[in-house]
């Protein structure tokens, strides 16, 4: 296993390009199961989670061919298995998103439930309830969801909370259902909108993605399509914080201001300059980091997936910030590692009070999940001396070459084998 070693204090400058979105790409890959015809997916980031999704699809009988480094052709001409096994679902929760498409295409699916997670309980009740509302017979047996349906039937579904994954699972299932589905209190995230665009390119009839109500007029069959995945707004936000935390000046190509409004607003409030630049955003900081209040919310609110990175920034502010995490109940694990770097953070329930310190001090730290890892890398960029971030595999699940991108901007960062890792 590798670790990342950072000598803090280098000011980042230059230009960097954002990769394709992991969280858009994963459900879009699962959507390939809905048609026997080939689909082409472009702007795919090369990540561990994408490889895991491909392993699952191959297990189901989906064939693949890389067209180039970031373009993949998937063809589900023949489905050979109806099962998403525990080993794959426990490695990556998004494997559960295959339930809807597999059931809609073949009439049956057996998908392992994902179990616990480092950031919260993350149940799948809303996925199951939504798909059951479409007429599926669902049983929970031996850790698996077993679903059957001759043909799903459109209906009206109210989601208790706007779950991204449940919205995606239900719209994929409803795309092939008989009749019209109205999904109310749906998630509005750009990744949901991208999936709907892909499904519509395959012949689905989905309207309202991006709004609270998504309507799906079921069709008899779907066909092949050629789709380019949106850029990763969370990677873009992470790079914006990297520029800010180092007092740098960076142009982030491919960052979409419209998808990052809450993040841009909060960065500006904390004293960071964000301006549009050709093909992206320019992020600069000359002044002190000002303390702010921050609350994570479903889109278009401030994303939970950028909370850890903002905490690293605010740990360096002049004053006291308050962060409230409303999406996941256990998403402050990075704070415990930031404390080891000299941060002053007190946590109570969903709230973290972050008192800025003049300078973090480098330390060996260990991440428990993807965004926690990136927050520790960001903290290391600003800290004095050396920070070693262990368990880099978390970072590799969701960031394409983050260390190389930061190095190209002037960070003193390298990846080395972690001989002490167990
Ligand atoms: C997606 O997870 C993302 N993952 C997460 O990205 C992201 O943090 C999250 O959305 C929120 O934006 C992918 O897209 C692959 P949810 P998802 O269902 O769909 C509760 C990252 O770092 N809930 O919107 O699993 C749940 O417990 C990650 O890239 C239920 O109660 O998130 C949570 O509190 C991690 N029942 C809230 O809803 C359910 O059936 C939102 O979760 C489903 C969810």
Helix (H), strand (E) at residue 371: helix 370-382
At residue 116, the pLDDT reads 67
Number of separate helices (H) and strands (E) present in the chain:
14, 24
> Residue 123: CB within 6 Å of ligand 1?
yes
**How many Å from the N-terminal Cα to the C-terminal Cα in the chain?**
8
pLDDT at 422 over 60: no
The question of whether 117 is a catalytic residue gets the answer yes
Q: What is the pLDDT of residues 338-370, one digit of tens each?
A: 999 999 999 999 999 999 999 999 999 998 899
Nearest ligand 1 atom to the CA of 191 is 14
At residue 333, the pLDDT reads 93
Q: Whose CA is nearest to atom 8 of ligand 1?
A: 305
Q: Whose CA is nearest to atom 20 of ligand 1?
A: 122
- The mean pLDDT value of the chain amounts to 96
* Phi-psi sector, 323: left (phi>0), alpha (psi -120 to 50), beta: beta
**What are the tokens at 341?**
């770097």
pLDDT at 421 over 80: no
Q: What is the pLDDT of residues 267-311, one digit of tens each?
A: 999 999 999 998 999 999 999 999 999 999 999 999 999 999 999
Of 400, 25, 18, 327, the C-alpha closest to 191 is 25
At residue 313, the pLDDT reads 98
Nearest ligand 1 atom to the CA of 370 is 22
pLDDT at 117 over 80: no
Pocket test for ligand 1, best of 163, 310, 333, 393 (most atoms within 8 A of CB): 163
> Residue 166: CB within 6 Å of ligand 1?
yes
At residue 419, the pLDDT reads 79
Percentage of residues in the chain having pLDDT higher than 90: 93
At residue 368, the pLDDT reads 86
Q: What is the pLDDT of residues 49-69, one digit of tens each?
A: 999 999 999 999 999 999 999
Q: Are 133 and 165 in contact (CB under 8 A)?
A: no
Q: What is the pLDDT of residues 153-167, one digit of tens each?
A: 999 999 999 999 999
> How many angstroms separate the CA atoms of 339 and 226, rounded?
47
Q: What is the pLDDT of residues 368-407, one digit of tens each?
A: 899 999 999 999 999 999 999 999 889 999 999 999 999 9
> How many angstroms separate the CA atoms of 215 and 364, rounded?
50
Pocket test for ligand 1, best of 164, 187, 393 (most atoms within 8 A of CB): 164
C-alpha angle 17-23-29 in degrees, rounded to nearest 5: 105
Strands 351-355, 412-417: pairing kind:
unpaired
Helix (H), strand (E) at residue 412: strand 412-417
Span from the CA of 372 to the centroid of ligand 1 (angstroms):
16
Helix (H), strand (E) at residue 317: none
Nearest ligand 1 atom to the CA of 299 is 12
Q: Whose CA is nearest to atom 18 of ligand 1?
A: 163
Q: Are 296 and 267 in contact (CB under 8 A)?
A: no
Of 25, 19, 23, 18, the C-alpha closest to 229 is 25
Nearest ligand 1 atom to the CA of 23 is 14
Q: Quick one: average pLDDT of 202-213? A: 98
Q: Quick one: average pLDDT of 166-177? A: 98
- Catalytic site residue from 17, 40, 117, 347: 117
Helix (H, G, I), strand (E, B) or coil at 258: helix
At residue 315, the pLDDT reads 98
> How many angstroms separate the CA atoms of 185 and 27, rounded?
19
> How many angstroms separate the CA atoms of 92 and 52, rounded?
7
DSSP states of 22-40: HHHHHHHHHHGGG-SS-EE
Write the burial class of residue 196 (CB in 10 Å: 0-12 exposed, 13-18 middle, 19+ buried).
buried
| Alpha-carbon Rg for the chain in angstroms | 21
Write the burial class of residue 411 (CB in 10 Å: 0-12 exposed, 13-18 middle, 19+ buried).
buried
pLDDT at 119 over 90: no
**What are the tokens at 38?**
């080939």
């Amino acid at each position: 296993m590798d670790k990342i070693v950072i000598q803090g204090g280098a000011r980042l400058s230059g230009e960097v390009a954002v990769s394709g979105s992991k969280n858009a790409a994963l459900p879009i890959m699962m959507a390939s199961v809905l048609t026997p015809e080939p689909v082409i997916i472009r702007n795919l980031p090369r990540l561990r989670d994408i490889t895991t999704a491909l392993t699952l699809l191959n297990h189901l009988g989906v064939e693949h061919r890389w067209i180039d480094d970031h373009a993949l052709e998937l063809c589900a001409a023949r489905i050979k298995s109806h099962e998403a096994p525990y080993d794959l679902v426990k490695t990556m929760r998004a494997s559960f998103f295959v339930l809807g498409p597999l059931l809609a295409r073949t009439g049956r699916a057996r998908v392992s439930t994902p179990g616990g997670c480092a950031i919260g309980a993350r149940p799948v009740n809303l996925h199951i309830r939504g798909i059951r509302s479409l007429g599926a017979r669902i049983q929970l047996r031996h850790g698996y969801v077993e679903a059957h349906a001759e043909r799903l039937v459109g209906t009206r579904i109210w989601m208790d909370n706007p779950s991204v994954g449940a919205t995606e699972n239900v719209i994929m299932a409803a795309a092939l259902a008989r009749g019209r589905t109205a999904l109310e209190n749906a998630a509005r995230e750009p990744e949901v909108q991208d999936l709907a665009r892909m499904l519509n390119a395959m012949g689905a009839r989905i309207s309202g993605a991006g709004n609270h109500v998504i309507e799906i007029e079921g069709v008899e069959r779907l066909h092949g399509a050629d789709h380019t995945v949106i850029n990763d707004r969370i990677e873009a936000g992470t790079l914006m914080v990297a520029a800010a935390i180092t007092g740098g000046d960076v142009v982030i190509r491919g960052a979409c201001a419209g998808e990052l409004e809450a993040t841009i607003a909060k960065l500006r409030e904390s004293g960071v300059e964000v301006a549009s630049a050709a093909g992206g955003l320019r992020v600069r900081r000359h002044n002190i980091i000002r303390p702010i209040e921050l609350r994570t919310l479903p889109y278009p609110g401030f994303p939970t997936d950028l909370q850890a990175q903002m905490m690293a920034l605010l740990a360096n502010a002049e004053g006291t910030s308050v962060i409230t995490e409303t999406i996941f109940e256990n998403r402050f694990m990075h704070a415990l590692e930031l404390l080891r770097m000299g941060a002053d953070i007190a946590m109570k329930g969903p709230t973290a009070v972050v008192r800025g310190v003049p300078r973090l001090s480098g330390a060996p730290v260990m991440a428990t999940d993807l965004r926690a890892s990136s927050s520790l890398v960001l903290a290391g960029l600003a800290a004095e001396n050396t920070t070693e971030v262990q368990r880099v595999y978390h970072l590799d699940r969701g960031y394409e070459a983050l260390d190389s991108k930061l190095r190209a901007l002037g960070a003193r960062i390298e990846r080395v084998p972690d001989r002490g890792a167990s």
